[in-house]
Amino acid sequence: MHEENDETNEPEGSKTPVERKEDSFEEESHSSQESSSEQQSEAGDENKEEVEGSDEEPIDEDVIAQAVARRNTEKNRILRDCGVLLVATAALAIMIYLLLTLLGLSMPSRPLVVSKGAAKPFFHGVHRKLIQDNYDGTIRLSGNQTMSVILLYSPYSIRSKWFREEYYTTARRLKKLHGNLAPYFGATNCFDQNSYCRRKYNLKQYPAMMAQNSALMGSVYNGPLDSVYVTRWLNRLQNGVFRLQSAQDLTTLSKNHDLLTILYFKIKTPPQKFQSASNFSKLAYHYLDGDPNTDRTIFCIVTDSQLAAQLQLHNEHDLVLVSSELKLLTTHYKGWVMENVHKDLVKFSQEAAMKNVEFLNLGRRFHSTQLAEKFNQGSVLMYFTRDLNYGNAKYKMFREIAQEYRTCPEKDFISVDSETPDNFDLDCSTSLKGILCEANNTLSFMMIDSKIENALAAKYGADREDMVVAINSKQEITRYIKSNITRESINCLIRQHHNSADNSFVTESTEIITTKTETPKDIHADAVGESSFVKFVDSTAELLLSRKINVILFMGGIWHSASSSAIAPFHLVANHFKESKNLIDFSIVDVSETKLPYNLNFDQLPKILITSADSIGLSWTYPEEFMINHTNIARFVLTRPGKIFGRLRWMDSCQGTCRKRAQREMRDDRLQLKRRLGRNVANSVRQRVLLGYYDRMLRMIS
């Protein structure tokens, strides 16, 4: 009806009452039809819900089954995908590893850059009570008027770490000795490249130590890294110059020192403008560097004009050098230069060491040639002892023996004047004075601290007890004394050393027999021990042409550490084959002193070469991958092929009663063969050859 009204667009007022009634009636009928249709639709919906309610159970079961199946399928798919992913990841990792490995093999390695760590204190705990640790690289000196001792260390140096406790021990000793006047002890980390210490000194070896007094006079330590030596050095610097007040003081000092440096200086107030006393103190500080050999020199000052005149010091500020025999060596007049005086000090100190006793100082002098130079000069008498101190009883005894040995009427200390045989008819324990003046008197005396030079002491077997060793010009041990070391026994050792100095083999003596009643004519027969089976050779031509088995050790000199470590096992092998000396020889060739042919110019030392007597030119070189010890060398020698090596193996396996029985059987067979040869002269060629074989075998066994 609304549509009709819309279409006709007629107003309601134009209709008649009858028409309005018909319209209302149609609207009521139409609304009743709509309500009935809505009721029918609601009833239909309820019927549908009932029908769906009746079919609800079978429909839910299918959905659950499908969901479970779908979930299992997805789970299997996920597991399969995970497996594929893991396999792919592993394959990728392997490919990356192989790629990096190939790149690492083909490309040069680069240095690993480590980030710089923060500086840390080097001294800890109780050490810092006596030592100020400047681990930031700064150098601080004493704030008062005491001496300053500075240790320049590297926290990564093993020698610095080892010396840390020794440095603290030195500070504690001087604190106990001097109290409040003790030196100031400081330590500076001199390894950091950005620090002031590294920029100023640029050290290559650690640690280093220096001392400086309040007048800015400095001294750099050059002695062994031991608290005893450092303490002695600082005490000498505390009292660097002595004052001579009488001639008796001069005599006392000359008995204990080999060289005296004396300055004539008058103490005046106010001080003089000429700084001779100050320069003299600087000279003492510079020369006294902790080397034990500098203790033989003492610095003195004379203020009395009469005493100065006795020393030929006629003008003030003059300086003289005097020997222990109170002989004037040289004079430096007023205006002397420190460098010239220092040169004379070094020169005359070395001459005094040749005539007296020299200390071996290798503790700070890396790659030092001090001992090698002594060996090149001639024979050396070395005294190994602990607690070595300049001026103690052992040093005084050894120094007196050296002075007595050098006392000759001609006062010629280095030449050989005559070939007259020595007078050994006297008791060997008596004085050496004047006895050896006609002999080869190039023997030098050296004292070695076995605690500091423990490696060298262990090489000679002197690491546990005192020992005196005599070594000839060929660097071979001729005699040695252990434990009971007296002046008489050393005198006997020197005499026996001169008697056996020309022997080609080393003769060792476990003790020196001091005969006080009668000495045999041949004093060498009085020696106890046996010859060594290793000899030093100057030419390899004879060894290569020898008809024996030659085991040759090519070494790089006494200061080549690897060669020195190979000497002891080489001697043990030679001693092992001492019963077979008719078949095998052991020799040592010093490459540093011997010119070798081109085929023996080895790239690496030491090297052991074995030559065969079966064929000239046939040789074997000891493998580099084998450790050099006596068992390996002996096994390598015995496993070489050849007839002569077979005999050597038999000699090595048959010893003692076995060899005696074989020798007896060969003698019986030889005797029977000789008897048959006497009866049957016509067919004697084969028997004579066999007889020669028995003779050679008997010589080999005997």
pLDDT digits 0-9 by tens, 136-149: 888 898 888 789 99
CA–CA gap between residue 232 and residue 239 (Å, rounded): 11
- pLDDT attached to residue 379: 83
3-state secondary structure at position 173: helix
pLDDT band at 656 (very low <50, low <70, confident <90, very high): low
Predicted pLDDT at 183: 93
Nearest to 221 by CA among 274, 172, 279, 294: 294
For domain 539-653, give the CATH number.
3.40.30.10
Confidence check: pLDDT of 632 > 80: yes
Q: Decide if 182 contacts 174 (C-beta within 8 A).
A: yes
* C-alpha of 638 from chain center: 34
Task: Identify which has the larger pLDDT, 169 or 561.
Answer: 169
> In whole angstroms, what is the distance from residue 666 CA to residue 663 CA?
5
Q: How confident is the model at residue 683 (pLDDT cuts 50, 70, 90)?
A: low
Pick the CATH number of 125-222 from 3.40.30.10, 2.40.50.100, 3.30.300.30, 3.60.130.10: 3.40.30.10
The SS3 of residue 419 is: coil
Confidence tier at 699 by pLDDT (50, 70, 90) = low
Q: Give the span between the Cα atoms of 408 and 410, in whole angstroms.
A: 5
Q: Say if residue 586 is exposed, middle or buried (CB neighbours under 10 Å; 0-12, 13-18, 19+).
A: buried
Sign (positive/negative) of CA torsion 267, 271, 275, 279? positive
Q: Show the tokens assigned to 291.
A: 């080397």
Number of residues in the chain: 702
Query: Which of 224-233, 263-272, 490-499 has the largest mean confidence?
Result: 224-233
Tell me what the pLDDT averaged over the chain comes to: 75
pLDDT tier for residue 271 given thresholds of 50, 70 and 90: low
Do the two domains 240-355 and 539-653 of this chain adopt the same fold? yes
CATH topology of domain 359-526: Glutaredoxin (3.40.30)
Q: At 302, is the secondary structure helix, strand, or coil?
A: strand
Q: Using alpha carbons only, what angle is made at residue 588 by residues 583 and 594, rounded to the nearest 5 degrees? A: 130
> Which of 278-292, 440-454, 538-552 has the highest mean predicted lDDT (pLDDT)?
278-292
Mean pLDDT of 152-159: 87
CA-to-CA distance for 362 and 291, rounded, in angstroms?
10
Q: Rounded mean pLDDT of 493-502?
A: 69
Dihedrals phi, psi of 382, to nearest 5 degrees = -105, 130
Q: Is the dihedral of CA 585, 591, 593, 599 positive or negative?
A: positive
Quote the CA–CA distance of 78 and 98 in Å, as a whole number. Answer: 30
pTM of the model: 0.55
pLDDT at 229 over 80: yes
Unique residue bearing structure tokens 């089976």: 533
What gap in Å lies between CA 398 and CA 445, rounded to an integer?
A: 8
Is residue 500 within 8 A of residue 478, CB to CB? The reply is yes
Q: How confident is the model at residue 602 (pLDDT cuts 50, 70, 90)?
A: confident
- What sign for the dihedral angle of Cα 535, 540, 542, 545? positive
pLDDT of 620 reads 84
Question: Pick the residue with more confidence: 365 or 638?
Answer: 638
* Fold entry, domain 240-355: Glutaredoxin (3.40.30)
Phi, psi of 370 (to 5 degrees): -60, -50
Give the pLDDT of residue 290: 85
pLDDT digits (tens, 9 = 90+) for 179-222: 888 999 999 999 887 888 888 888 878 899 999 988 888 899 98
Distance separating alpha carbons of residues 499 and 33, to the nearest angstrom? 158
Residues 659, 697: contact at Cβ < 8 Å?
no
**Cα Rg, the chain, nearest whole Å:** 50
- The answer to whether 196 and 263 are in contact (CB under 8 A) is no
Cis peptide before 183 (omega within 30 of 0): no
DSSP assignment letter at 115: P
Confidence band of 597 (pLDDT split at 50, 70, 90): low
Let me know: does 593 contact 620? Beta carbons within 8 Å. Answer: no
Structural tokens at position 435 = 């006895």
List pLDDT tens digits, range 298-357: 999 999 888 888 888 888 889 999 998 888 999 998 888 899 999 999 999 888 887 888
Q: Is the pLDDT of residue 111 over 60?
A: no
What does the pLDDT average to over 167-183?
92
Tokens of 303: 């203020």
Domain ranges of the chain: 1-35, 125-222, 240-355, 359-526, 539-653, 657-701
